Amino acid sequence: MIVKFCGIRREEDVRFCNLLNPTMIGLIFAESPRKVEKEVAQKLLRIKSPCIKAVGVFKDQNLSDVLSISTQLKLDFVQLHGNEDIEFIEYLKTKGFKVIKAVEVENLSDIKKAAIYKGIADFILIDRPKGREVDVVALAKNVHFDFIIAGGITPENLEKYLALKPVGIDISSGVETNGIKDFGKMKLIIEKVKKYKAGEVENG
């Protein structure tokens, strides 16, 4: 089970992630209150444990900018949230980057659109548009390919997302308090995922 904490932007967040050891941390390079500048990202990645994969999050940015940031920072994954097409993804892959294609879903036709990235992106991330109250769990029940799920996950509602049997979970605002990463909430997520994984083994 992949666990990704997204929107990491402070050194203390990275240090705490080093203790919790999620699979990935996400740094936002798209327009957002969580956006980090390249120089800040460089500092954060310097102290990141090598066991944790670095993901850069972009949305409708031009290919040369995405490539230049990803190369300079030696990112492991590029996560694309906008209308990037298949050629965009394939080009990044020829440059050695793994790609997470995020598809922000609002209806069943968006789920169908997400399927086009099967076998092209390394992971498909089913998310909801930022600031929209979409029931992403109800929509994701119609997904018939491997996916990472995001969109409103919190320590309290994690179980209903895990019940979808995703390959991973991606959380940002649900592990924040007043816009700052909340270490108690992050720890709770990791503990709950550990219990879930142990249960999976027990139940076959």
Neighbours of 80 (CB within 10 A): 26
Interacting positions 94-123 with ligand LARABZUK (CB under 6 A): none
Residue 148 CB, shortest distance to ligand LARABZUK, in Å, is 9
> Residue 20 belongs to what H/E stretch?
helix 11-20
Q: Decide if residue 160 touches ligand LARABZUK (CB under 6 A).
A: no
Structural contact between residues 106 and 83, judged by C-beta atoms closer than 8 angstroms: no
* Rounded least distance, CB 150 to ligand LARABZUK, Å: 4
Residue from 4, 66, 54, 59 nearest 31 by CA: 59
- In 53-180, where does DSSP find H-type helix? 63-72, 86-94, 108-114, 136-140, 158-162
| Residue 155 sits in the site that holds ligand LARABZUK (CB under 6 A) | no
Nearest residue (CB) to ligand LARABZUK, 26 versus 45: 26
By the rule CB under 6 A, 173 interacts with ligand LARABZUK: yes
# binding residues, ligand LARABZUK (CB under 6 A): 21
Binding site for ligand LARABZUK (CB under 6 A): 6-7, 26, 28, 30, 32, 34, 57, 59, 81, 127, 130, 150-153, 170-174
